[in-house]
Structure 1
Amino acid sequence: MGGTLMPPGVVPARGEQELALLVRQRIAARLAEYAGEREAAGLPAEDETARRATVGRLLAEELGAQRRLSLAHGSQVVDATVEERVSQAVKDALFGTGSLERLLADTTIENICVNGCDVVWVKDAAGAWRRESPVAASDAELVELVRTLATGTGGEERRFDRGMPRLNLQLADGSRLFAVMAVTDRVSLTIRRHRFPAASMAELVRLGVCDQQLAALLRALVRARKNIVIGGGTNVGKTTVLRAFAHEIPPQERLVTIEDTFELGLDADATAHPNVVAMQAREPNIEGKGGIDQAELVRWGLRMSPDRVIVGEIRGAEVIPMCNAMSQGNDGSLSTIHASTSRGVFTKLASYAAQAPERLSLEATNLMVASAVHFVVHLGWDAGGRRVVDSVREVVDADGAQVVSNEVYRPGPDGRAVPATPLRTETLHDLIAAGLEVEGAPSSSWGVA
């Protein structure tokens, strides 16, 4: 026979990769089958320790089966060193993020966009896009990677197939992953990083999101238990600002957070917020049953004796129970919403309310919003392309087809917020009682109307 002879027990790199892929696919399938059996038996999902033990057992079984198969066919048997590498590669894929790990380990990267296994783009903190090397050997392998990440997320498995072609989940490092298949030419996934998981008002000032004076106002709004909706476009930093607001909430208060996908992580810091219940919406099962949306979770949260209710993002029917929560004693509640302007926040709230099962009229919605929301804080981009607070509105009343508000801060020439309409007298008194210092401040900033 021609060709170069290889030492006993050594396999080509490609053969090793193929073995790792085969073993990983078989173990992933067996894990899914095992999880289904536990669910059918009414048993809870395995915790991380138990799952690692199960994977270790399955690895030993699969590698043993491969050795027996090689012997039966007279093929070369891989040695212990290769098996160890294969075993580690499988564990990395099942418990980590596979080939994505090198990108997730780069703290300068904000967004990771994969338009097929070999078309990978990342955006850094400065907003510059660059192309990266492939994250999988094929689109099929990329699908398997996404399915592996979905397995066991939040104590349940989230589907990713042609019947459920989209997946939304939080990775172990807090990043948010959204994947889609079937409706696109190639499988695609987007990962949004949260570079400031423990944000504070001081951090917002350091980052240039706002100045010291505006930060003092925002801090006082939270401490005075004003209900605040944070608006802005996609990827403008709404979640980071919401975390900074929550940082100002006294640790003795009980919080209930409600999200479509876990991102806030307020329950992770037992020192800052020791009394937190974090809830996440649930997808329907394969029969289309068992789904729980944010609107239902808000109603549940109100029965849990919260001091404040925090909704990660208003995006539908939860707007009505959220406003009810804000207006019936849970002052100091917070939420975010997608809106291109601060005034546009009211339009989005009204459109969501109109689509809710209650089918509220515009006039009824505006009355509800005016009685619930105290302030709107809007985020945008300044002339230099940096994320900033560009507008702050104080809600005053409702007048038929519109919500009446005063723009306390408005966008300046460079896009950053500048003082505009003075606060109302009663509001200013509330903020002073909450610790806002006004002595020496310009009258245009803290004046009264």
Structure 2
Amino acid sequence: MAPTARAASTRAAPGGAAAPPEVVARLRSRVSDRLSVAGAGLSVAERDAVIAGYIAEELALHAQADIAAGRAPLTPQVEAAVARTLRDSFTGLGALQRLVDDPYIEDIFVNGCDNVFVRLTDGRVRRVAPVAASDEDLIELVRVAAARSGQEERRFDRGSPGLSLRLPGGQRLFAVMAVAKRPSLSIRRNVLRKVTLDDLVQRGELTFGLRDLISAMVRARQNLIISGGTGAGKTTLLRAAAAAMSPMERIVTVEDAYELGLDEDVEAHPNTTALQQREPNLEGVGGIDMATMVRWGLRMRPDRVIVGESRGAEAVPMLMAMSQGNDGSMCTLHASSSKQALTRLATYVMQAPERYPFDAANMLIGQAVDFVIHLSTASDGTRVVSSIRQVLETDGTQVPSNEIYRPRPDGRATAAAPMRADTLDLLIAAGLDPTLLDKDRW
């Protein structure tokens, strides 16, 4: 029988044994000193092998010292816990690694080294053990993670107090220091890395009608904005919608930190290039923002451009791409409703360096966006699609739209206003059975 979420999220180490912090600190210092002498110039694999050897040797020396002093040596279970904690501190995320590896944990919140909470996949929140001996050790842990991420230089210091990166397992980490009373971080685990719309139906997040409607939108190359609050499942839905694309299409993804991972699914998306913005170096130069990344992506002749999250000046080139031939493009957006998503998008356009006036911003949105799909949380705690809004033609004074799916009292979407006839014809030609929409009425 599989362990419960409670058991999985609170276990300290294999066998239930905890690693004594004072032993870990002492042996880590010894291993670190040896590594500083012999670790230069090694590849990641070579360095990991050297670290494993040093840990084994230091544990053996520690056991000999205990016996010589008449103390009881560490039990095999505790020694295994110490070895794992030491290994994770050099090659992983230290004490955070056990939380990152736990399949029952969806989010990790660290508010200083000893104030740690996790959100389980069933929605419960629990406090867990400290993840570092001090806040300074927590900062160093984050720096090691950034150095091992294999990405461009990612600083974490007083000059660059915010850090966003993708961990080797695909998890998303964001950390802050200096601007907060204590160093803090959050880690979001994508429970569904390889996901389809059928998977979301099985999880109760979509109806069959919504599944077929979104799939037809993708095949008909409609431009989609996927909106919702933090943790609403925007990235998961985008990844699932992308599974409906032809594997022969050329895709370019643009993100502030790699998270979508479409390029990693070589069967579904073999012709994909993933771009990530770059932070400035220590001299404050060399940074490449999202807007530039979108423009560069357009030069790579994509069939579709996918922006991981639009929240600034990148909205302008993204919308230009949608309205100038890159039909079927998508992005995610933070918003509280499908209607607010359009207002938020207009704000981003007007605040961009191009300084579009209000009417021009609305004109650009009306010409580029076809549908807004909004996600929220149902009354039973399930993340669901709650609204779909079709964007209509605009004269610039506003962005008119019809809410073709609206939220029910429980938060789930129900079919509402009729879709434009010409759009419905396009979706039917792409394989949509229109009778499913009537079945979604409540």
TM range (shorter): 0.7 to 0.9
Question: What do residues 91-129 of structure 1 show as CA deviations (whole Å, max 9, x unaligned)?
Answer: 432222211121112211111111111111111122221
Question: What do residues 308-346 of structure 1 show as CA deviations (whole Å, max 9, x unaligned)?
Answer: 000000010000000011111110001000010101011
- Distance in 2 (alpha carbons) for counterparts of 1:346 and 1:278: 26
Flag the structure with larger Rg: 1
- Aligned match of 1:393: 389
- Among 274, 287, 290, the alignment partner of 1:291 is 287
- Distance in 2 (alpha carbons) for counterparts of 1:293 and 1:30: 38
Counterpart amino acid of residue 98 in structure 1:
G
- Aligned match of 2:415: 419
CA contact (8 A) 1:109 1:124 kept: yes
CA contact (8 A) 1:23 1:59 kept: no
Q: What is the percentage of aligned positions where both structures have the same residue?
A: 49
- Aligned match of 2:46: 53
CA contact (8 A) 2:224 2:373 kept: yes
- Distance in 1 (alpha carbons) for counterparts of 2:262 and 2:362: 31
Alignment of 1:222-301 (within 5 A): 222-301=218-297
Q: Determine helix, strand or coil for the equivalent of 2:394.
A: strand
Q: Determine helix, strand or coil for the equivalent of 2:291.
A: helix
- Among 27, 31, 36, the alignment partner of 1:20 is 27
Residues 117/408 of structure 1: CA separation in 2 closer, same or farther (3 Å cut)? same
CA contact (8 A) 2:107 2:120 kept: yes
- Distance in 2 (alpha carbons) for counterparts of 1:329 and 1:57: 53
CA contact (8 A) 2:386 2:405 kept: yes
Residues 121/83 of structure 1: CA separation in 2 closer, same or farther (3 Å cut)? closer
Q: What is the CA-CA distance between 1:399 and the residue it aligns to?
A: 3.5
- Aligned match of 2:91: 95
Alignment of 1:186-197 (within 5 A): 186-197=182-193
Q: Determine helix, strand or coil for the equivalent of 2:293.
A: helix
Q: Does 1:339 align with 2:327?
A: no
Q: What is the CA-CA distance between 1:16 and the residue it aligns to?
A: 4.0
Residues 442/89 of structure 1: CA separation in 2 closer, same or farther (3 Å cut)? closer
Q: Determine helix, strand or coil for the equivalent of 2:44.
A: helix
Residues 136/397 of structure 1: CA separation in 2 closer, same or farther (3 Å cut)? same
Q: Determine helix, strand or coil for the equivalent of 1:168.
A: strand
- Distance in 2 (alpha carbons) for counterparts of 1:290 and 1:413: 50
- Distance in 2 (alpha carbons) for counterparts of 1:121 and 1:247: 33
Q: What is the CA-CA distance between 1:20 and the residue it aligns to?
A: 3.1
- Aligned match of 1:5: none
- Aligned match of 1:330: 326
CA contact (8 A) 1:28 1:148 kept: no
After superposing the two structures, state which structure 1 stretch, 367-376 or 120-129, moved more.
120-129
- Distance in 2 (alpha carbons) for counterparts of 1:373 and 1:28: 54
- Distance in 1 (alpha carbons) for counterparts of 2:439 and 2:116: 52
Q: What is the CA-CA distance between 1:421 and the residue it aligns to?
A: 1.0
- Distance in 1 (alpha carbons) for counterparts of 2:185 and 2:374: 28
- Distance in 2 (alpha carbons) for counterparts of 1:393 and 1:30: 61
Residues 206/63 of structure 1: CA separation in 2 closer, same or farther (3 Å cut)? closer
- Distance in 2 (alpha carbons) for counterparts of 1:15 and 1:382: 46
- Distance in 2 (alpha carbons) for counterparts of 1:61 and 1:120: 30
Residues 29/261 of structure 1: CA separation in 2 closer, same or farther (3 Å cut)? farther
Residues 105/62 of structure 1: CA separation in 2 closer, same or farther (3 Å cut)? closer
- Aligned match of 2:350: 354
Specify every segment of 5 or more residues in structure 2 that has no aligned partner in the other structure, as ranges: 1-18, 61-67
CA contact (8 A) 2:111 2:184 kept: yes
Alignment of 1:102-251 (within 5 A): 102-251=98-247
- Among 401, 417, 430, the alignment partner of 1:405 is 401
Residues 22/87 of structure 1: CA separation in 2 closer, same or farther (3 Å cut)? same
Q: Does 1:436 align with 2:439?
A: no
Q: TM-score, normalised by structure 1?
A: 0.84
CA RMSD of aligned residues (A): 3.1
CA contact (8 A) 1:420 1:444 kept: no
CA contact (8 A) 1:20 1:86 kept: no
CA contact (8 A) 2:158 2:177 kept: yes
CA contact (8 A) 1:342 1:391 kept: yes
CA contact (8 A) 1:204 1:210 kept: yes
CA contact (8 A) 1:23 1:63 kept: no
Q: Determine helix, strand or coil for the equivalent of 1:204.
A: helix
CA contact (8 A) 1:231 1:376 kept: yes
CA contact (8 A) 1:229 1:337 kept: yes
Q: TM-score, normalised by structure 2?
A: 0.85
Counterpart amino acid of residue 208 in structure 2:
Q
CA contact (8 A) 2:275 2:293 kept: yes
Q: Determine helix, strand or coil for the equivalent of 1:172.
A: coil
Q: What is the CA-CA distance between 1:206 and the residue it aligns to?
A: 1.1
Counterpart amino acid of residue 247 in structure 1:
A
Counterpart amino acid of residue 20 in structure 1:
L
Specify every segment of 5 or more residues in structure 1 that has no aligned partner in the other structure, as ranges: 1-11, 36-45, 68-74
